[in-house]
Amino acid sequence: MAKSAFLKSSIAKKYWMALTGLFLCLFLVGHLLGNLQLLMGNNTEAALQFNKYALFMTTNPAVKLLSYLTYISIIFHAVDGIYLAIQNKKARPVAYAMSNPSKNSSFSSRNMAVLGTVVLIFIATHMVNFWYKMKFTDQIPLQTISVDNGMGGKQEFIITADYGQSKFMPKEQLDGKNLVQVGNKIYITKPIKVEFAEGYKDLHKVTYEFFKSKAKLFNVIPNEGLVFTLFYVLSMAFLGFHLWHGFQSAFQSLGINGKFTPAIKVFGKAFSVIVPILFAIIPIYIHFISK
Amino acid sequence: MSAKKNININLKIWRQKNASTKGKMETYKLDNVSTDSSFLEMLDQLNEQLINNQQEPVAFDHDCREGICGMCSLYINGRAHGPDTGTTTCQLHMRKFKDGETIFIEPWRSKAFPVVKDLMVDRSAFDRIQQAGGFVSVNTSGRTIDANATPIRKEDADKAFMAAACIGCGACVATCKNGSAMLFVGAKVSQYALLPQGKVEATERVLNMVRQMDEEGFGNCTNTGACEVECPKGISLENIARMNREYLKASVL
Amino acid sequence: MALDSKIPQGHISEKWTNHKNNLKLVAPNNRPKIDVIVVGTGLAGASAAASLGEMGYNVKAFCFQDSPRRAHSIAAQGGINAAKNYQNDGDSTYRLFYDTIKGGDYRAREANVHRLAEVSSNIIDQCVAQGVPFARDYGGLLDNRSFGGTQVQRTFYAAGQTGQQLLLGAYSALSRQIGLGNVKMYNRHEMLDIVKVDGKARGIIARNLITGELERHSAHAVIIASGGYGNVYFLSTNAMGSNVTASWKVHKKGAHFANPCFVQIHPTCIPVHGTNQAKLTLMSESLRNSGRIWVPAKKEDAEAIRAGKLKPTQIAEEDRDYFLERKYPAFGNLVPRDVASRAAKDVCDAGHGIEANDTNEGVYLDFASEIITKGKQAAFTQGDHNPSDAKIQELGKKWVESKYGNLFTMYEKITDENPYETPMKIYPAVHYTMGGVWVDYNLMSSIPGCFVAGEANFSDHGANRLGASALMQGLADGYFVLPYTVSNYLADEIRTGKISTDTPEFVEAENAVRQSIEQLINNKGTKSVDYFHKKLGLIMWNKVGMARNEKGLTEAIEEIGQLREDFYADVRVPGAANELNQELEKALRVADFIELGQLMAKDALLRKESCGGHFREEYQDAEGETLRDDENFAYVAAWEYNGSDASKSVLHKEELKYEFIKIAARNYK
């Protein structure tokens, strides 16, 4: 019975929560390091660096493998968590008339399911707004650069990885007929479809526009960029509370509780404060500070 | 010593005739309770009053009244064994309460601990977990090796003792928001895991005890740590971690 | 009926071995056909049930608690004796045997006590093998400490929770057998009668405490291991549920009850605080290893303390009377319990008591000098040869905490005083009953097939039990005696076959129980059960307590007889018979306590000597020590039931012959 129970037993569920949770913590670090590049400002070089990084992250096979692991972890962590929450609810069919849990446990530890659900909702919207657009649509334009045409006007050039000698390609050439964009690549359609050049999806611009948008959300709420910024900051607060308990809890679940525990706890608390704050700084910076 | 004085209190107590009927909270007033009384002596006083008024006394579990048998329970003012930490209900004293205070008294709430009557619950789930593996399989011949033949590190012996100090009262389950019994099971698994005598059957023990625990309908541990805070014997969360380790070893290796 | 103790022939050190070799056996294939009932799951009951289950008998175990793990053995704090001589201080089986006989003031059976000493070592081996976490030293070997009445260190312990650890060990063995299906456990069941068929014990009537149903259970042998009867005093260190009912029912059906007046009053308990008190709390005897007992030497100081005008710490060293050290220099604070209790009573009677309650009864147990001694030692070990007072205090308190921490915490919780800073207040309280159902060497009562083990029997402790010996006896009986002697009895039962519970004997017994329950329920009196129990307790404590005299005992017999009548006339038991009814449970127990209390007074009245826990004021020497009368009272008083008026019970005597120990005055000076 031993091996089969390993997937079903209460303790096994703890392991899986812990392992997936800790893996997601690692993901958070990676994701954060990449995103912090957004703080380099709203200029072509900064944007290019960020967009190149984004391209790498969506195409590198090793990163791909990691990203699949991340998706699985999120799904498993969420499903297992919800399942546990339901089971745990059932373990106490009659509630106490009077309960005073703040005397014996932290707010975070008692509300992991709620906090996790909010984080999950955040992840869903976040992915719809960026990840989905980036991966599955051509809604994200390629990054361009505006160059003085010597006649007092400006011309838009798409920045490409290799375009003859130049790194630029005039934007008007990408007419959607002879030259078309598929993903981040530009193809010549006639006489046969041939790869012509590779650009960079301008995720940087999309991100900046997202948080700076003055449009009305759902045609009602003005200044949707501010709403998005606040939503992101709030979500990061929820993430912080989730991590506050989750990080050190994972070690306990994996059976690590001993002389390193105080250090793990301190590190976990630092992690749960610093990581979400750094994440939250990005929309704040974009919305309020950047040009 | 606190000055001797008497207080008047209001009590809100769960009354339930038996396992198959529904219960509800009832209100009682009790005057002249000595602050030197233990909490259970206060309930004795209430019962004396109820009997004298031709009412039915409140059923509650209690036996040794010195904090070791684990029979007493009670969720008092929203906490297992009341407001004091490291204390069983029988060692809680009325000096911890104020004159005029309203005190809520409820039974342990857990699917695995059904209410038997009023404030009494059935904790035989714990016995069944113990029967599933909480022992060393040695016959009582008295012809085992000499007690000092196997030295045991003092640190291990002390830790095993601290785990074995569990009184099986069920406060961990009662206080856990998930109704989890892992502190109880972890303590038992740990006691044996720390001693050479227990290592031989360590694999079967942890697998069987955890299986039984799950079958009894206890919730899952989410490491809130409430059990450790409310445990009258100060059983450490380390014991749950050790059980997790033992389970991992037993399952994977 | 003549009392045959069935003590085997031969030299004391060979009796048990020879006896075992000659006992009959039951072959393994026959054992599952034989049923054994065990009532009580303390050390004796749990270990007996586990051992017999392990052998293959079909065992049914009963306890009134919600789990076998809660039996009151769990509350034993200090330790368990065994003649291991690990400390190399001259201990031996003989010395443990001798100390126990002497400690019991020469009123115990030699052969039983020697057997107990012989198997004591096996108990420790067995418990360690079961994973009982005894205290160990830094070398990883077992640690020992001293207990009262001995001059060696032979007490094994697990902090202040030795009884708990041993009981959980026995409970784990029992749980294993339950899991294997060899033992069927009946929690929350109370035995209310024994059923005899053709003179033999053949089963019990038990009440399911949840449903109130009466159940018939049959067996080829019944083992009673239901503990002692200290709760006859209402206030005692026993658990609230501890009761004499199982023992009393077998007594009523023909088992003799021996030495009921031998009760141990433990010297170190927390004094009574008020009238609503339901329970007294023991502070382990082990504290007397480190604490010094004293009262103010001047009466006016004691008065000032009681009035709250003086604190104990303000009494100068020369104004303190360390009365145990003064009276008994050889054993000092570690004299046996009966001696220490009486000494405390004497100083309080003389007006030196320090507790501000109705009786002014209380003495100090002071750790101040031990804190200084151990603090200095600890400082020296750390290389500090000139430690400051503060450092000494700090280290000393730490040492005390490591040794007795849980007891100190318990004391503070109950009294709201910090015993590290101010001495503990203590006073004697009823703790253990040496008397019990009379049994022969095989632990069988005068009912064939009914065995009695642990505190419930009378056999090993004479008139006073030494500390750390109760645990030893419980486990010895259950693990190492009953499996042999019960098998010997059952060897003649292999052809009996299943015993029916439909026989007239079972029907009759069940009806009688039902009737007694209905009588209580339908009584509809005006007073609660506790009212009568408290009244009984007061009579017992005042007249059959630490010091007894002819006048008081005669009055007690009279008053208890009257109380019995009042009880049946006016007790009120609310609720119904067919439901969980804690008042009914109490009423049934108190009914038996009342009868027992009267027998205790009668037994005490007839024993015109002082010995061990039985102190008759008429029989004391010039210094107030017990004066034994070996010529006329070196016997076990075994009482035969003769109706609910216990004063009419019939006395049988079992002469105590001391062949291997020279009987002498008990001297701890």
Nearest CA in chain C to B196: C131
**Contact check, Cβ <8 Å, C176/B147:** no
Kindly list the residues from chain C whose CB atom is less than 8 angstroms away from the CB atom of residue B70. 67, 69-70, 74
Which stretch of DSSP H or E encloses residue C439? none
Q: Is the pLDDT of residue C85 over 50?
A: yes
Rounded to whole angstroms, the Cα distance separating B236 from B244 reads 14
Q: Kindly report the number of other CB atoms within 10 A of residue A117's CB atom.
A: 17
Surface of B (132-161) touching C: CB under 8 A = 132-148, 150-154, 157-158, 160-161
User: Residue B38 — very low, low, confident or very high, per pLDDT cuts 50/70/90?
Assistant: very high
Closest CA to C337 of C228, C472, C428: C428
User: Residue A2 — very low, low, confident or very high, per pLDDT cuts 50/70/90?
Assistant: very low
Kindly list the residues from chain B whose CB atom is less than 8 angstroms away from the CB atom of residue A87. 219-220
When pLDDT is averaged across residues A249-263 and rounded to a whole number, the result is 95
Burial class (CB in 10 A: 0-12, 13-18, 19+), A218: exposed
C561 in Cβ contact with C647 (< 8 Å): yes
Rounded to whole angstroms, the Cα distance separating A47 from A39 reads 10
The fraction of chain B above a pLDDT of 90, given in percent, is: 93
Q: Is the pLDDT of residue B70 over 50?
A: yes
**Looking at the DSSP assignment, which residues form a beta bridge with residue C655?**
C635
Q: What is the pLDDT of residue A162?
A: 62
Q: Is A109 an interface residue toward B (CB < 8 Å)? A: yes
Dig out the tokens for C173 from the structure: 């063995």
**Contact check, Cβ <8 Å, B51/C572:** yes
Dig out the tokens for C560 from the structure: 């208890």
Separation in Å, CA C581 to CA A158, A220, C188, C276, C509: 88, 67, 12, 22, 21
Kindly list the residues from chain A whose CB atom is less than 8 angstroms away from the CB atom of residue B12. 97-98
Kindly list the residues from chain B whose CB atom is less than 8 angstroms away from the CB atom of residue C136. 151-154, 157-158
Rounded to whole angstroms, the Cα distance separating C238 from C71 reads 10
Closest CA to C108 of C461, C449, C429, C515: C461
Identify the residue among C52, C64, C154, C176 best suited for mutation to test binding to B, counting B beta carbons within 10 A and taking the highest. C176
Nearest to A105 among B12, B109, B225 (CB): B225
Q: Is A265 an interface residue toward B (CB < 8 Å)? A: no
Rounded to whole angstroms, the Cα distance separating A72 from C429 reads 66
Q: Kindly report the number of other CB atoms within 10 A of residue C305's CB atom.
A: 25
Dig out the tokens for B129 from the structure: 């977990």
Q: For C397-448, how does the pLDDT look when each residue is reduced to its tens digit (9 = 90+)?
A: 999 998 888 889 889 989 999 999 999 999 999 999 999 999 999 999 999 9
Q: Is the pLDDT of residue A3 over 70?
A: no
Q: Kindly report the number of other CB atoms within 10 A of residue A219's CB atom.
A: 6
User: Residue A1 — very low, low, confident or very high, per pLDDT cuts 50/70/90?
Assistant: very low
Nearest CA in chain B to A244: B224
Rounded to whole angstroms, the Cα distance separating B105 from C9 reads 61
Domains of chain B: 6-106 (3.10.20.30), 124-252 (1.10.1060.10)
Q: For A221-232, how does the pLDDT look when each residue is reduced to its tens digit (9 = 90+)?
A: 888 999 999 999
Domains of chain A: 8-91+104-138+203-289 (1.20.1300), 144-198 (no CATH)
Phi and psi at residue A56, in whole multiples of 5°? -60, -45
When pLDDT is averaged across residues C369-389 and rounded to a whole number, the result is 93
C132 in Cβ contact with C169 (< 8 Å): yes
Does the model's ipTM exceed the 0.85 cut?
A: yes
C435 in Cβ contact with B21 (< 8 Å): no
Q: Does residue A254 sit in helix, strand or coil?
A: coil
C400 in Cβ contact with C407 (< 8 Å): no
Q: What is the pLDDT of residue A199?
A: 84
Kindly list the residues from chain B whose CB atom is less than 8 angstroms away from the CB atom of residue A245. 223-224
Q: For C236-247, how does the pLDDT look when each residue is reduced to its tens digit (9 = 90+)?
A: 999 999 999 999
Beta-strand relationship, C221-224 and C263-269:
unpaired
C166 dihedral zone (left: phi>0; alpha: psi -120 to 50; beta)? alpha
**Contact check, Cβ <8 Å, C175/B64:** no
Kindly list the residues from chain A whose CB atom is less than 8 angstroms away from the CB atom of residue B205. none
When pLDDT is averaged across residues B171-183 and rounded to a whole number, the result is 98
C602 in Cβ contact with C556 (< 8 Å): no
**Contact check, Cβ <8 Å, A104/B79:** yes
Do at least 3 CB pairs under 8 Å connect A with C?
Answer: no
User: Which range has the worst mean pLDDT, A46-55, C546-555, C565-574?
Assistant: A46-55
Surface of B (206-225) touching C: CB under 8 A = none
Q: For C41-55, how does the pLDDT look when each residue is reduced to its tens digit (9 = 90+)?
A: 999 999 999 999 999
Dig out the tokens for C545 from the structure: 């307590």
Rounded to whole angstroms, the Cα distance separating A35 from A207 reads 10
Do at least 3 CB pairs under 8 Å connect A with B?
Answer: yes
Q: Is the pLDDT of residue A9 over 60?
A: yes
Closest CA to B9 of C34, B35, A112, C313: B35
Q: What is the pLDDT of residue A144?
A: 86
When pLDDT is averaged across residues B112-134 and rounded to a whole number, the result is 98
Q: What is the least distance, in Å, from the CA of C277 to any CA of chain B?
A: 6
**What is the per-residue DSSP string for B143-165?**
-S--TTSS---HHHHHHHHHHHT
Nearest CA in chain B to C236: B64
> C242 versus C1: which is more confidently predicted?
C242
Nearest to B224 among A94, A97, A109 (CB): A109
**Contact check, Cβ <8 Å, B41/C159:** no
Q: Does residue A154 sit in helix, strand or coil?
A: strand
Rg (chain A; Cα; Å): 24
Q: Which residue has the tokens 């009341």?
A: B82
Nearest CA in chain C to B145: C125
B116 in Cβ contact with B19 (< 8 Å): yes
Rounded to whole angstroms, the Cα distance separating C44 from C443 reads 12
Surface of A (6-25) touching B: CB under 8 A = 6, 9-15
Q: What is the pLDDT of residue C377?
A: 93
Amino acid making up residue A34: G
Separation in Å, CA A135 to CA A54, A183, A184, C422: 11, 8, 10, 75
Phi and psi at residue A156, in whole multiples of 5°? -90, 130
User: Residue C204 — very low, low, confident or very high, per pLDDT cuts 50/70/90?
Assistant: very high
When pLDDT is averaged across residues B71-76 and rounded to a whole number, the result is 97
CB pairs under 8 A between A and B: 150
B30 in Cβ contact with B11 (< 8 Å): yes
Strands (E), A179-261: 179-182, 185-188, 194-198
Burial class (CB in 10 A: 0-12, 13-18, 19+), C417: middle
C552 in Cβ contact with C538 (< 8 Å): no
**Contact check, Cβ <8 Å, A3/B251:** yes
Q: What is the pLDDT of residue A232?
A: 97
Domains of chain C: 267-429 (3.90.700.10), 506-634 (1.20.58.100)
Q: Is the pLDDT of residue C79 over 60?
A: yes
Q: Is the pLDDT of residue C121 over 80?
A: yes
Q: What is the pLDDT of residue B2?
A: 43
Q: For B139-162, how does the pLDDT look when each residue is reduced to its tens digit (9 = 90+)?
A: 987 778 999 999 999 999 999 999
Nearest to B220 among A3, A88, A254 (CB): A88
Closest CA to B167 of B65, B84, B15, B240: B65
**Looking at the DSSP assignment, which residues form a beta bridge with residue C654?**
C636
Kindly list the residues from chain B whose CB atom is less than 8 angstroms away from the CB atom of residue A109. 222-225
Rounded to whole angstroms, the Cα distance separating C50 from C168 reads 12
Surface of A (21-80) touching B: CB under 8 A = none
Kindly list the residues from chain B whose CB atom is less than 8 angstroms away from the CB atom of residue A84. 220, 222
User: Which range has the worst mean pLDDT, A14-28, A197-211, C309-323, C362-376?
Assistant: A197-211
Amino acid making up residue B143: R
Strands (E), B53-151: 75-76, 79-80, 102-106, 115-117, 120-121
**Contact check, Cβ <8 Å, B224/A110:** yes
Do at least 3 CB pairs under 8 Å connect B with C?
Answer: yes
Q: What is the pLDDT of residue B183?
A: 98
Question: b or e along C182-217 (b: 16 or more beta carbons within 10 Å of the residue's beta carbon)?
Answer: bbbbbbbbbbbbbbbbeebbbbbbbbbbbebebbbb
Q: Is the pLDDT of residue C504 over 70?
A: yes
Nearest CA in chain B to C211: B18
When pLDDT is averaged across residues B127-133 and rounded to a whole number, the result is 98
How many alpha carbons fall within 13 Å on the CB side of residue B76? Answer: 27
**Contact check, Cβ <8 Å, C276/B34:** yes
Rounded to whole angstroms, the Cα distance separating C567 from C584 reads 13
Peptide bond preceding A191 in cis form (omega within 30 of 0): yes
Q: What is the pLDDT of residue A159?
A: 85
Q: Is the pLDDT of residue B96 over 50?
A: yes
**Looking at the DSSP assignment, which residues form a beta bridge with residue B33?**
B7
Closest CA to C666 of C637, C636, C635, C623: C623
Q: Angle at CA C5, nearest 5°, toward C337 and C39?
A: 70
Rounded to whole angstroms, the Cα distance separating A234 from C483 reads 70
Rounded to whole angstroms, the Cα distance separating C636 from C262 reads 11
Q: What is the least distance, in Å, from the CA of A45 to any CA of chain B?
A: 47
| Strand order, beta sheet including C450-452 | C183-186, C58-62, C35-39, C221-224, C450-452
DSSP state of C262: -
C556 in Cβ contact with C540 (< 8 Å): yes
C47 in Cβ contact with C481 (< 8 Å): no
Q: What is the pLDDT of residue A166?
A: 53
Beta-strand relationship, C424-433 and C436-437:
unpaired
Beta-strand relationship, C221-224 and C214-218:
unpaired
C268 in Cβ contact with C576 (< 8 Å): no
Q: What is the pLDDT of residue B141?
A: 77
